[in-house]
Amino acid sequence: MVRILIADDSTLVRRVLRSLVEQDENWQVCAEATDGGEVVQRTLETHPDLIVLDFQMPVMNGLQAAQEIAKVAPDVPMLLCTAHLSSKLVGEAQRIGIQGAVSKSRAGDIVKGINALLRSKLFFCQPAEIGQ
């Protein structure tokens, strides 16, 4: 069973992500976190196989949290899931070692991203914005 940690400050978004994850019988949500500090703590407590991480969260944003997670759990792949996907954000995510980035508005890409990361592949969606 693949254990996935979901980090987002929105209860609604966490529910949607949980629903997407639980559609695959081989995946389970092992924990949820509502801010950047909590996702680091939950990573230490639950040892997930993969983390789906929001960009805009209190305490630490997703990039800051990913940097901390990489120090304590360097082998855990992270999928950045954001409403504000841009070329700049994708570049920053890649620079700090996040393995994938998707838009929250594209549920199919979230599932594809999880699948890719679980196969040790990178998965970065192109931002929809023109001129980014």
pLDDT exceeds cutoff 50 at 106:
yes
pLDDT exceeds cutoff 60 at 129:
no
- Distance, in Å, from the CA atom of 116 to the CA atom of 122, rounded to the nearest integer, reads 6
- Place 126 in a pLDDT band, splitting at 50, 70 and 90: confident
- Distance, in Å, from the CA atom of 28 to the CA atom of 48, rounded to the nearest integer, reads 10
pLDDT digits (tens, 9 = 90+) for 38-86: 999 999 999 999 999 999 999 999 999 999 999 999 999 999 999 989 9
Q: What is the pTM of this model?
A: 0.94
User: Residue range 97-107: average pLDDT?
Assistant: 93
Residue 51 Cα to chain centre, angstroms: 5
Residue 22: how many CA atoms within 13 Å on its side-chain side?
10
Range of the domain at 90: 2-124
- How many domains are there within the chain? 1
Q: How confident is the prediction for the chain on average, in pLDDT?
A: 94
Q: Look at residue 27 and tell me if it is in a domain.
A: yes
Q: Look at residue 39 and tell me if it is in a domain.
A: yes
Q: Look at residue 129 and tell me if it is in a domain.
A: no
Q: Look at residue 93 and tell me if it is in a domain.
A: yes
| CATH number of the CATH domain containing 119 | 3.40.50.2300
Q: Look at residue 50 and tell me if it is in a domain.
A: yes
Sign of the alpha-carbon torsion through 19, 74, 112, 107: positive
Mapped onto helix, strand or coil, the DSSP state of residue 43 is helix
